[in-house]
């Protein structure tokens, strides 16, 4: 995609709002995983939440920068 088609400097980043949305999505997907696998232990659910959270925050704070 050509940079002229979508200039990144035309819109502001909102890292705090993005972080809140990312953490809400992590909570929702962890809850869905808990509902799908009723035998999942707290350690497994914690690991799922940790992995999703680390990826979401890494993407928000590091990878999604110009």
Is 46 within the bounds of a domain? Answer: yes
| Helix or strand (DSSP H, E) at 36 | helix 15-36
Is 4 within the bounds of a domain? Answer: no
33, 48 Cβ separation under 8 angstroms:
yes
Domain span at residue 56 reads: 13-63
Q: What is the pLDDT of residues 28-53, one digit of tens each?
A: 988 888 888 778 788 988 998 999 99
Burial class (CB in 10 A: 0-12, 13-18, 19+), 4: exposed
Query: Model pTM?
Result: 0.69
Over the chain, what is the mean pLDDT? Answer: 81
Is 25 within the bounds of a domain? Answer: yes
Is 5 within the bounds of a domain? Answer: no
> How far, in Å, CA of 48 to CA of 27, rounded?
10
Is 8 within the bounds of a domain? Answer: no
Is 17 within the bounds of a domain? Answer: yes
What pLDDT shows up at residue 33?
Answer: 86
- Total structural domains in the chain? 1
> How far, in Å, CA of 50 to CA of 8, rounded?
30
> How far, in Å, CA of 2 to CA of 55, rounded?
27
């Amino acid at each position: 995609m050509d940079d002229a088609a979508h200039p990144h400097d035309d819109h502001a980043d909102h890292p705090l709002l993005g972080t809140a949305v990312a953490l809400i999505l992590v909570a929702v997907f962890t809850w869905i995983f808990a509902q799908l696998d009723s035998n999942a232990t707290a350690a497994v659910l914690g690991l799922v939440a940790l992995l999703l959270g680390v990826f979401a925050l890494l993407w928000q704070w590091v990878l999604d920068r110009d």
